[in-house]
Each structure stands twice: as C-alpha cells, then as structure tokens.
Structure 1
C-alpha cells in the first residue's frame, strides 16, 4: 500500500507564498487537495460546507442489499446540520455510490468521488469488497466504515467505526462473539463450534480470526473452512451440512457459526434444521426486522443468535432513542423498520463528524489527521472509541440478539470485553 508523501517547505517560503497569493485564487498542491500555504484549498471544504460521499453495496448479484447504510449516514448528517453543522460548516452529503459488491465498481466509485465529486471524506464505505482502499489512501481521503475488512486495519486515512476487526499479527481480536456464545451455552468448557464462511479473501480471514477467538474462549473448534462459493448461493446445502455435523470426531458441534450474509444463512440454517440439528445457530448479519416480513425467512432464522457490535435497537439507552428519532426524520417522518445497515452508516458518519469537530474551524487534512491522532470519547452506541487505537484494535464491545417467535430479543446484553492478541 502506498504511503502518503508529506510536502515540506521552509518557513520563509511559506510566508512568501501566503503573501503572494493573498489576493489570488489558491491552488491545491497535493493529491489530497492540500496545498502548502496557509491559504491553500482543501478538497471538499469551503467556507460554509464540507462535501462527503459514500460507497455502499445498494445491489448485489445475490440480491443482498446494504442500501439502508446510506439512509443511516443521511440521518446523522441531517442532525449535524440541524445543530449548526461542524464548526459552522454544514455537511454536504452527496449520497452513496452503488458498487454492486463488484471489485471493479468499488474502485470506480472511489475514483469518481475523489476526482469528479471532489469530496473531503468517504463516510460510509460499506461493502464486502474494498478495492478502492489503496486509491483512497494514496489520495489521502479520510474514509469511514465497518472495519470488517483488512483495509480498515493499518492505513492512516481509513477508520472503522468500531475499530479494526480483522487485524494483522500484533493487533487484537474482539471477543464479543465467543464470549457471548459461551454465555448462551452456559460456558465454553467441553463445548465445540463449527465455523463456516464464503470462499473469498474476507471469508478466509474471518475463519482465521474467529477460529483463534473461539479457541481462546475455551471452545474446541471442530470445523473451520471458507468452503461456500462467494459468487452464488448453493442450491444444495447437504454436502456442507454433512461436513459441519461430522466435525472432527463424528459428533455434532454445540454451535454452528456462520460468517456469511443473509441469503447463505437462510439456506444453510434451513438445511441444518431439516437435518435435525438442535444446537446453537449464530451469524453476524441477520439483525434486520425487514427479514421477518417473509414467513419462510422468519422460520429459517428463528432461534438464531446474531452478533451485534453496537447497542441493540431494543435498548432503552437515550442514545438509541435519539438514533431512532434521527432515522425517522431522515425517512420523512415515517416509522421504518430498523436494521444494522442503518447503524453502520450512522456510526460511520458519527465518527467522522466527531473527529472533524475536534479538528476545529480551520479544517485541513493535516488538522483532521492531527485531531484523529489524539481522539477519544466514551459511552457511544459502539462503546468507548479512541484513535489511532481503532486502526489497529477493535473497540471490543458488542451484544447478541436472538430471533424468537418473530421478534428479536436481547440474549446477551451489550458489554465490552478485553480483546486478545491476534497471532
């Protein structure tokens, strides 16, 4: 990954430049639109606005959509503007580009936002592919999203709204999921889990991280494979069910952990239930009341424990009440079903806004990055936040909810766990 180049100038030259350009239109010198002089133009920042865009998988070949991520971001920016903006500047949110979960389109969307729309930041970025990461880092574009991809862990300008969830060796792993499932099962001692993911880079990395996490929590991992095709949902799940239930010793695992999206989970969980499996089913994606509209979907996901890395919607926390009010306002006053994609967009925008506020009235890329280097706050919908810690480690908080009789119930309350070293 390319490293940003910092322009250096002598103090005398800078003063001369400021004096010479005092009555002229300044130019943006760097790839990020940041000039060397005090009057230089910052890409996407004017006297009264900050331009922000997003990249979201509105559509996909499998029919899965994260479109409500865009609504969540819009809701947070609307409230910011209603409260006077960020240090007097309103947020000009131009909406999100649809990458269709296609790597080529993801990069194209990043290029468009920077080169044509000239945004200051990308918030949110929500997709299972992030081929635009290198370009955004090279162009020094602050980018915010769900840190479930390696690109959110390490780069200087890319931030996960709840930290880095797929770290490199030397980082840490969030233990919410293993500790939560241990609580559901009454302890991890003597219990086994089977972990399954899509055959993709993200899926393989997920297997690696969660296998270590569940093992560290005291579970025996009887199966851990990224074996499901990433491009299409299987029509026959029986081979996968047979492997999962056989484990390593012929005994069915106490829990099946799916690191996949909704269409795959519906197929897998339905097949497991038809095969007589009675253990715990769990995944990190199916917290969406909209899924309950279809009877078949509701039955397939009934009993499933879903990992959350934020306060559940069922919480009475005042911050959740405010989130719901913001979503309603952004929806034109309608009561729309809430889902985790909305929260992803909302909290991506929230972290960007919080750092921008700390950067002060003179918003430049340098000032934004300096603010991020010492940023921290507490008691948010994703727990306590800190940067640059979040570019290496998870914030360590989360909860589990269970779909039960057509409604979601909190099965493990929101809590922060001590992360473990990733090896």
Structure 2
C-alpha cells in the first residue's frame, strides 16, 4: 500500500482516504474515450448549429489511483446522451488525463486540454494538484472531488470556476469546520454510555497532519466528544507505534479513552493492530470508508461514507448506469462513484441553462445550485459550500467483527451545524 497525496484538513480524512485506498486496489487502465464525436477546433469545446450542440469534456487525476474514474463519468454521460436529457445537446467525453499526482504534469496536461483539445470543462476533476488559478483565468469549469483549495473561499462566493461534489473540502485556512462527527457521536456516545465520550485523535507530524489534528478535534468536540488528546506527532514514515500507544491509552486521566480516531490513512491499519494488542477496549475509528478489502484487517472498527450505501433508487440507478456503460462494473466508492457524482453535478447544471450552453451560463448554474441525487448523495448547496460542505452529510458504519463486510449503524443524514476552529487545539 502506498500513499501519494495528503489531505490538508481532517474533515477530509476522506480526501486522504480516497487517495490512499485507491493506491491499494484500483486498476491503472489507460485514458478512456467515449467515442462520441469530436468537438476539437470549436471555441470552448462546443460545436454544432442552433439545433445541435456537442459539449466536449475531459477528466484529470492520478490514473494509478483513479483508473475507474473515467468509467464513472462516462456511465452518467451515456445516460444523458441516450435519453436526450437536454434535447439537442450531447456530451463528448474525450479522455481522462493522467496528472501522476505531480503539479508540473497537472499544469502541462490542463494546458493541453484547454489550449489544444479546447475542452468546455474538466469533468471529473480528481486531481489534488490541478492549476485552479489557470482554469479560472481561462474561464474553464472543473467539477470533481474538491481535492485542492481552489474550490474554497473564506466567504460564500459565486465567482469560482471549480465545484466539488461535497463543496470545499480542503481549505488552506478554514474559518469553520462542518459537523462531520455528528453520526459518530450519536452512536458512540450511546455505546459508551456517556453524553461526552472521551476521544484521542491521532495524526502525523507534518504540518498538514498537525492541521488535521486541530481541525478534526474542533469538529469532534463541537459534536459532543471530550477530546483528551489531539496531536500530529506520529512520524510520516514509521512502523513502530510503541512509543505512542501507551500515551494514547492513558490519555483519559490515566485511563483508556472511549474512542481513538485515526486521522491517517493506511497507517491506521498497523495502529489498530498495535492498540488492540495493548488491550484497547474502546471504539477505533478511521476515515478509510467502507472498502471491502479493508473489512477484515479493520474488523470491528468504525468508519463513515459521504453517500448513502443503503439501497435506494439513486444507488440502483448508479449501478444500472455503470452496467449499461461497461458490463461487470462494480460501484467503487473511492473512484468511479465520485466521478459519476461529478458528471451528474455537471449534467444537472446543464439542464438549468436556457438556450445554447455557454461556460458562463453553466458556471452560474453551478454556483447557485443545490445538487443532490435524492436518497443517495447531497444536498450540496452553493454558494455556501464554497466555505465548507453545506450541509455536511454522511453515514456511520462498522466493519463487521467477522470481517465479512460493513454494516450501517444509522441512516444517511445531514447536519447544517458548523464549528469555529477551537484555539485550545494546537496540533
């Protein structure tokens, strides 16, 4: 397992998660084309006459981590085209460019897509290193996971050109943190039998890791936990967690905490083994999500998903769209699912535009929309979500004790609460 791109804030344990877990098990397929006709040579990736319009889009991200992303986006675009969702408008998905997780490569590839391929928009944008300022200057839309701070502003704004499916996930200096611990608090406080269960938050010793500790601790305490320790002090490269385990297990006034939250990525697996071996009896939580290949090594631990994993019409439609595009394709929560969501967000904005779509018209639709797939994901409300996910929606789950999969511990739900960064936490 490898970890190539690090999240800037803990609300995203999820962001780091997507990158890390993807490296564990995603395919590294080549860039994919829709075969839906070219729009090259046309200004802004739009071709066609008054009654026929083709919009050219492309995706970008680290292919080794998100090899299935192109499939997710194309599955949604195929339904758009096949069912004539916007009469006279077709979406031509040209490729998924590989940025290799490298800022220089991302800049080069984005410039090629904009200047040579003349794309209308970048969908899905799965990059954490894409040149957001360049895209904004060129007035090129990008819709994706929201893995860099170009999706963020200090105050709600309708001027951005980048839109994340969950809103601003990784602001450089957040003013508030969303209520990401609400579902965990509800379940774990009942399990611990106390209204304020004690919590230790574990992160690494990079500056990003220290920020993770600060921000997540603020969210956890806001939700109702008593945070007894929240530090970014674990070396980014280590296999020996012994010096830290006893400190974690005595952080609650000499006693074990009720909860240990690991805000790292694949390091959470050996940390889980280490605290169990030392006799930890409380709840262990990770940001790694319901990934089947992790169910056994993390058996008994807790995690969360940012969409509803229970059966719903929206999930049924997603799975059907994936099958219609490529038979045998399973929904992969860290790759083709967020790419599908990005494509759907773009489609819903297109459907709000009157007349022939322009970049400016679609940007306005994105900047003022409330996006959701009812019962599956969202709502994500813009422009409020340029500051922080508004509302914050998730589902709390447990890796089954026998390691056979994940069980939902409550319904998918949302919270509009936000908390200020607590100065008590220094990381």
Question: 2:200 aligned to 171, 194, 199, which one?
Answer: 194
Asked if the contact 2:178–2:419 (Cα under 8 Å) also holds between the matched residues in 1, the reply is no
SS in 2 for 1:189: coil
Asked if the contact 2:151–2:160 (Cα under 8 Å) also holds between the matched residues in 1, the reply is no
Map of 2:214 onto structure 1? 208
Rounded to whole Å, the distance in 2 between the matches of 1:202 and 1:52 is 32
Map of 2:298 onto structure 1? 301
State the Cα RMSD in Å. 2.8
Map of 1:22 onto structure 2? none
Asked if the contact 1:287–1:340 (Cα under 8 Å) also holds between the matched residues in 2, the reply is no
Asked if the contact 1:87–1:361 (Cα under 8 Å) also holds between the matched residues in 2, the reply is no
Asked if the contact 2:180–2:219 (Cα under 8 Å) also holds between the matched residues in 1, the reply is no
Map of 2:101 onto structure 1? 101
Q: Deviations over 1:236-260 (max 9, x none)?
A: 2333434433437433322222233
Q: Using the TM superposition, give the Cα deviation of residue 318 of structure 1 relative to its aligned residue in structure 2, in angstroms.
A: 0.6
Which structure's CA Rg is the greater one?
1
Question: 2:311 aligned to 311, 316, 336, which one?
Answer: 316
Q: Using the TM superposition, give the Cα deviation of residue 287 of structure 1 relative to its aligned residue in structure 2, in angstroms.
A: 1.9
Asked if the contact 2:143–2:164 (Cα under 8 Å) also holds between the matched residues in 1, the reply is yes
SS in 1 for 2:45: coil
Q: Using the TM superposition, give the Cα deviation of residue 159 of structure 1 relative to its aligned residue in structure 2, in angstroms.
A: 1.0
Q: Using the TM superposition, give the Cα deviation of residue 180 of structure 1 relative to its aligned residue in structure 2, in angstroms.
A: 2.3
Instruction: State how 1:361-372 maps to structure 2 within 5 Å.
Output: 361-372=355-366
TM-score (norm 2): 0.77
Map of 1:46 onto structure 2? 47
Q: Using the TM superposition, give the Cα deviation of residue 400 of structure 1 relative to its aligned residue in structure 2, in angstroms.
A: 1.2
Q: Using the TM superposition, give the Cα deviation of residue 78 of structure 1 relative to its aligned residue in structure 2, in angstroms.
A: 1.8
Q: Is 2:132 the counterpart of 1:133?
A: yes
Asked if the contact 1:166–1:206 (Cα under 8 Å) also holds between the matched residues in 2, the reply is no
Map of 1:284 onto structure 2? 287
Q: Using the TM superposition, give the Cα deviation of residue 323 of structure 1 relative to its aligned residue in structure 2, in angstroms.
A: 0.8
Question: 1:271 aligned to 270, 274, 289, which one?
Answer: 274
Q: Deviations over 1:69-118 (max 9, x none)?
A: 33222221222122225442221112322233333333333333223322
Asked if the contact 1:52–1:92 (Cα under 8 Å) also holds between the matched residues in 2, the reply is yes
Rounded to whole Å, the distance in 2 between the matches of 1:125 and 1:365 is 16
Map of 2:382 onto structure 1? 387
- Alpha carbons of structure 1 residues 371 and 176: separation in structure 2 relative to 1, 3 Å: same
Asked if the contact 1:184–1:411 (Cα under 8 Å) also holds between the matched residues in 2, the reply is no
Q: Deviations over 1:262-281 (max 9, x none)?
A: x2222222222223222212
- Alpha carbons of structure 1 residues 124 and 219: separation in structure 2 relative to 1, 3 Å: same
- Alpha carbons of structure 1 residues 54 and 411: separation in structure 2 relative to 1, 3 Å: same
Asked if the contact 1:54–1:125 (Cα under 8 Å) also holds between the matched residues in 2, the reply is yes
Rounded to whole Å, the distance in 1 between the matches of 2:312 and 2:340 is 16
Bigger mean CA offset, 42-51 vs 242-251: 242-251
Rounded to whole Å, the distance in 2 between the matches of 1:68 and 1:278 is 38
Asked if the contact 1:399–1:413 (Cα under 8 Å) also holds between the matched residues in 2, the reply is yes
Q: Deviations over 1:372-408 (max 9, x none)?
A: 3432355352232332222223132111121102111
Q: Is 2:418 the counterpart of 1:413?
A: no
Rounded to whole Å, the distance in 2 between the matches of 1:250 and 1:111 is 56
- Alpha carbons of structure 1 residues 53 and 307: separation in structure 2 relative to 1, 3 Å: same
Give the gaps of 5 or more residues in structure 1.
Answer: 1-39, 60-64, 292-296
Rounded to whole Å, the distance in 2 between the matches of 1:250 and 1:377 is 47
Asked if the contact 1:51–1:119 (Cα under 8 Å) also holds between the matched residues in 2, the reply is yes
Rounded to whole Å, the distance in 2 between the matches of 1:258 and 1:202 is 14
SS in 1 for 2:200: strand
Q: Using the TM superposition, give the Cα deviation of residue 227 of structure 1 relative to its aligned residue in structure 2, in angstroms.
A: 3.6
- Alpha carbons of structure 1 residues 371 and 418: separation in structure 2 relative to 1, 3 Å: closer
Rounded to whole Å, the distance in 1 between the matches of 2:207 and 2:42 is 39
Q: Using the TM superposition, give the Cα deviation of residue 55 of structure 1 relative to its aligned residue in structure 2, in angstroms.
A: 1.9
Q: Is 2:231 the counterpart of 1:225?
A: yes
TM-score (norm 1): 0.77
SS in 1 for 2:330: coil
Map of 2:398 onto structure 1? 402
Give the aligned length: 366
- Alpha carbons of structure 1 residues 350 and 183: separation in structure 2 relative to 1, 3 Å: same
- Alpha carbons of structure 1 residues 360 and 271: separation in structure 2 relative to 1, 3 Å: farther
